[in-house]
Structures are given as C-alpha cells and as structure tokens.
Amino acid sequence: MTVGMTRRRSIVSLFTACLAITACANLGESDSSRVDLIRNRGELRCGVSGKIPGFSFLQRDGSYAGLDVDLCRAFAAALVGDADKVEYRPLTAPERFTALKTGEIDLLSRNTTFNLSRDAAGGNGASFAPVVFHDGQGLLVRRDSGIRSLRDLQGQTICVGSGTTTEQNLNDAFQSLGLPYKPIKYQDLNQVVAGYLQGRCKAMTSDRSQLAAARSGFEQPDRHEILPEVLSKEPLAPLSSGGDQRLADAMRWVVYALITAEEMGITQSNVDAKLQEARDNPDLTQMRRFLGVEGDLGSKLGLSNDFVVNVIKAGGNYGEIYNRHLGPTSAVPIPRGMNQLHSQGGVLTSPPFQ
Amino acid sequence: MSRRRSRWLELVLVIAVLTVVGILVNNLAVNLIRTGLGLSFQWLWQPAGFVLSEHSLPYESGDSTAWALLMGWLNSLRVIACSILLATVLGVGAGAARRSFNPLLRRLAALYVGSIRQIPLLLQLLFWYFVAFLGLPSEPLAPLGALIRLSNQGIGILGLNISVEFAAVLMGLSVFTGAAIAEVVRGGLDSVPRGQWEAFRSLGLAESPGLRLVILPQALPAILPALSSQYLNLAKNSTLAIAVGYADLYAVSDTTITQTGRAIEGFLILLLSFLALNLLINGGMQVLNRIMLLPGQRN
C-alpha cells in the first residue's frame, strides 16, 4: 500500500517534471516579441563595452557614460518609458554575439561594425539598427619611428584585438599590397594598448575613434600619430538578435528619431516648448506626427505614441549626444566629419516619420 | 501482478525519458533553424583569411580554416609539452627541497610554493608578459655572449629563437604548476614511512642516491595519479594564453568563430581538440605508470 502510494507519487512527480521541462523548452519557440519581455521586466539589458572613452566608459561613481550608453538610454526611454531603467552588461568583443544570441542581453550597443556576415541569417543573424557612428580602421604609430605609411610597416609586428573585423581588415590591407607582417593578437583593447606602449609592436590598429580614445589616455599623446590610411569602412550600429521585428523596428526608429530631432532643431531643453507649439498649431502636421500629437506612429511600432518626446528628453538629439561625448570640448574630441547631418555635409539622414 | 505492474511502470518511464530527450533535441534543432544556424562544417575548408604570428608548419592566410586550427592546436601542444617538462623539473626540485637537510633550501622552496599558489594564474601570466618580458629593452641583451639573447622582440637560447609570448606562457604555466607539483611530490615523500629514510641513512647512503633509489620508488604510487591531474590542469590552463597574445588553439578558434559566426560548431571543435590533447597526456601518463611502477604497485 505504502509502496504503491510512493510509486504513484513518483510517477506524478516525474510527469510534473516532464511538463515543466516541456514548458521551459517551448518558451524559446514562442512568437512573442522581446519588447513585451522588456516591458514586463521594467528594465532594458544593454550590452556595452565599458572600456572605450567617449562610447561607453565606466565613470568614477560606477555609472557608464558615452555615445553607446546614451543610445541605451534612448532605447529604454522608448521601450520602458524611463531612460534610467537600464542594466548595463560590459562585454568583450568575442562575448558580445553569444550574449545577444542566448538572450542574456536585449540589445547590443557596443561599437559593433555593421556588415553582411553579421546581418545575414547564415551568419550571426542579427538585426542592425541604423548606423550611429561612421568609423574607419586606422593605425597608430610613434612619431619618432619614421613610419609614415602602411608600406613602412612591411615585416613589422602590429598589435591587434582578436575576435573583431579589425584583424580581417588588417590582413586584407596587407595582402592586397603583398606585404608580410606579424600580428600579435590580444583579447582586449587594453592589452593591445599595453603591448604597443611596452614596445612589443611597431603599430597598433583599431577603429580610428578607438585609437583617438586610447591615445587620450597616454602620458604623452602628441608623441603618437594616426596614419593617414583608412583601412576599412566601420559603420558602427546597435543591434538586436534577429527574427524579432517589433524590437528591430523600435530600435531603428529610435535612432531615426534622434537624427530627425536634430534636423528639426528639437533639443533636450526645448522639447517641451516644441511640444506645446505643436499642440497649439494644427498646421505643423509634420512636427505633430513626429511628437505624437496626432496620428498613431508610435502605436504602430508598439510603443507609446509620444515615444519621441521621451527619447529626446532622455539625452537630447543626435548632435547633442555626439557633442557631449565626442565634441570639441569633450575628453575624446573626434571631428564630426561623416557623422554630420546630410544637410551639413555628412551622411546622416532619416526616412520620413509618416 | 506486481511484476506486470512494474513492467508497465518501466515502459512508461522509458517513454517519458525518451519524450523529454526528444523534446530537448527537437528544441535545439528548432532553435538552430529559427536563428538561421543549423549545424554546418563547410567553413572549415574555406580560406582562413588571417595571419598567425607563429606556426609550426608552413601556413599562409589563404590556407583552410581547418589548417589554421591545426596550427593553433600544435602551438598549444608545443607550449603544454614544454611547460610540463619545466614544471616537473621545478616541482620535483622544490618538493624534494622541502624535505632537504639544508634549511635555506627548505625555506626557499616553502616561500616559492606558498607565494605562487596564492596568486591567480592570469595575473602571473600578465606579470611575466607585460612586466618581465616586455620590460626587456628592444635591443638584445647578451649576458653570456651568443648563448642567450634577451629582448622584448624575442628570446634566443643557444641559437633557438622563441617569441616573448611563448616565453611568457611557458614561464607562467611552469612556475604556477611547479608549485602545485612540489606539494604533490612532498605529499608523496611523506607517505613513505620514516623508517625507510632512517634505514638508508643508517646504511651510510647519501641523501641524493637514497632519495633516488629508496624513497622515490616507494613514493611514486602516491605521486603519479596526482601528477597526471596537475598535467591535465596545466593543459586546460593554457587557454589563458590569449591574454598575452600567444596564438594557441583557443585564440585561433576565437578568431574563426567571430569571422564565421559559427559559435556552436567552433566550440564543439574546441571541446574535441582539448579532449584529444588531454587524452594524449593521459595516455602518456599511463605509459609512464607502466614504466615507473613495479608490477605490484600498478592499479
């Protein structure tokens, strides 16, 4: 009797366990968007580097700051309604795609180059938002080394970070010139910098923005120079794991909202006044749609109709974010160049909010 | 009655287990398809497209990814084999020194084991690389003429040139594992009854032959199993080489995974390669067991 009971109980518990496992196993297959998950959690999990001044860098008080970080904040403002509700996950270059794919983070805003292999379903299968920083790979050398161009680096050692497109670009550049070279690969930019400063390599290579950021921390920055050659196009963009249209659309239009806001002259400080102006003046249809006073653009994305207002209040428009972290008065000044609005001679532009 | 019931129960149990396994496998397959992956190893035969700073066999960036991975595997094997040799010399020396008559030797060995075992291996590797080896001048130092040449561009010993990356991994792994081996050796020596020490000393045998001829053969059964596990640890710890820029198997896989986006396949190959490495070490240790131990001592 007791034996039978125990046995029956064990069968019941076995089936319960089976059910639980089945339920968990099926969770991954469901069609629901990650947007709902983020909303329910009330917090956005954003993958960043944490080690690149100007893009994402750990501050003295333990917070993160930079262009990539402000984008996380803008996404959180649109998705959760509060720019402060972000949990930052510092990730190394090789870790980042695994973290995204396994769902440990919701999205990645970490100096990631947008290219075909990473976008395609047969590659990393990610969904990229629009480019937020147009960069290019360069080489940093000592001024007194006598190296003035790529050809002077023939047969020399070059420090490079592994697990990045940087390594491939370097190889392509030297192979097309038919020059031999010797890469010393490290896992992390800090080690690349240490290897270069310790004299292991004649040059170090990375995106020019990262070289500028790294050089700003050197003891004598003016003793080092970035070679004029640009080895690659490095359009940096935030991304989400593929196959989730709602999240991908939301990210895409948040980035476009930042660019459009700069085009329309809407800033963090005047957004309330502009909103009032749009409410009072029915003729400003374009601005009314943009700020969610009329129409249902936000709702179509599955966001609040005035998500643009939240996004601009979080950190201002694209130009404001850029100037805060990379502008002439910032710690890591990088000329805006290609990253100007199209009307100012750059390449940034946004499709219409219609 | 009860037998029939238990047979039914077995059937239900088997079906339940099979269902769960089936669901999990199906789930993995569905997710692989959903994320557009699917398992494929085609990329192994495509050109690697990257240069390696050191390789034991001829290699160019146009060679296949599989060949590049093999170069990484050989680099791992090379540094592991050299480290095992050096770690054993260090460890046996320090372990024996801890039971030596000479108080200075005893204290030095205790200091070595005590301090090295307290510091994480990664920190030690970074120290050897960035402080010790990259701290060398770029113009070679030649303290013994042409015998030894030291610079932060490479190390030359008796005409043999090794990279500073290799040297840093070799030193880091050997010194770290040597400390652990010293403890294994000391434990083994202590397992031999005191009477045996007194016996060879009373026969007038000197310390070193006494150790070699009387104590060590009896201590080996206690030392060898723990020693193989230290060797296996050393092999696994060698993946930290990427921190100091050495092109080992892990570093090469890391690059191929990023370039191909084939993380699951890449990790599978990495797992199998390390399994192969460790089976090699295991096999070597079994041969050593057979040679070193008397028939009665084998287990």
pLDDT at B17 over 60: yes
pLDDT band at residue A100 under the 50/70/90 scheme: very high
- B-chain residues within 8 Å CB-CB of A97? 258, 261, 263
Residue A57, beta-bridge partner list: A51, A65
- List all residues of chain A from 205 to 264 with a beta carbon under 8 Å from chain B: 241-243
Q: Give the per-residue pLDDT at A295.
A: 92
- Asked which of A6-20, A153-167, B271-285 is least confident by mean pLDDT, the reply is A6-20
**Residue A139 contacts residue A345 (beta carbons within 8 Å):** no
DSSP letter (8 states) at residue B47: B
**Residue A107 contacts residue A76 (beta carbons within 8 Å):** no
Q: What is the number of alpha carbons within 13 Å of residue A115 lying toward its C-beta? A: 18
Q: Under CATH, which number does the domain B73-297 receive?
A: 1.10.3720.10
Among B255, B260, B262, the residue to mutate for chain A (most A Cβ within 10 A):
B255
pLDDT at B107 over 80: yes
pLDDT at A338 over 80: yes
Among A9, A102, A142, A186, the residue to mutate for chain B (most B Cβ within 10 A):
A186
What CA–CA distance (Å, rounded) separates B101 from B222? 23
What CA–CA distance (Å, rounded) separates A261 from A283? 18
Q: Give the per-residue pLDDT at B36.
A: 59
Q: Give the per-residue pLDDT at A19.
A: 46
- The full set of domains in chain A, from first to last, is 34-133+236-339 (3.40.190.10), 137-232 (3.40.190.10)
DSSP letter (8 states) at residue B148: E
Q: Where are the alpha helices (DSSP H) in chain A?
A: 2-27, 34-41, 67-79, 93-101, 116-119, 165-177, 189-197, 208-215, 245-264, 271-280, 285-290, 297-300, 307-315, 318-326
The rounded mean pLDDT for chain A is 88
pLDDT tens, A32-67? 799 999 999 999 999 999 988 899 999 999 999 999
Cα separation of the two ends of chain A: 73
pLDDT at A3 over 70: no
Distance from CA of A239 to the nearest CA of B (A): 15
Does A171 sit within 8 Å of B134, measured CB to CB?
A: no
**Chain B touched by A186 (CB under 8 Å):** yes
Cα separations in angstroms, A148 against A142, A143, A318: 10, 9, 35
**Residue A139 contacts residue A203 (beta carbons within 8 Å):** yes
pLDDT tens, B232-279? 999 999 999 988 999 999 999 988 888 887 877 888 899 999 999 999
Residue in B closest to A162 by C-alpha: B255
Does B258 sit within 8 Å of A93, measured CB to CB?
A: yes
DSSP letters, B177-198, are HHHHHHHHHHHHHHTS-HHHHH
Q: Give the per-residue pLDDT at A216.
A: 81
**Chain B touched by A103 (CB under 8 Å):** no
Distance from CA of A96 to the nearest CA of B (A): 10
Phi, psi of A110 (to 5 degrees): -145, 70
pLDDT band at residue A8 under the 50/70/90 scheme: low
Q: Give the per-residue pLDDT at B296.
A: 66
pLDDT at A23 over 50: no
Q: Where are the beta strands (DSSP E) in B234-274?
A: none
Does B61 sit within 8 Å of A171, measured CB to CB?
A: yes
Cα separations in angstroms, B143 against B43, B147, B154: 48, 8, 15
pLDDT band at residue B2 under the 50/70/90 scheme: low
Q: Give the per-residue pLDDT at A154.
A: 92
| Nearest to B234, CA basis, from B69, B75, B76, B55 | B76
pLDDT at B97 over 80: yes
Does B153 sit within 8 Å of A182, measured CB to CB?
A: no
Q: Give the per-residue pLDDT at A225.
A: 87
Whole-prediction pTM value? 0.69
What CA–CA distance (Å, rounded) separates B231 from B242? 19
pLDDT tens, B45-67? 988 888 888 898 999 888 999 99
Does A167 sit within 8 Å of B9, measured CB to CB?
A: no
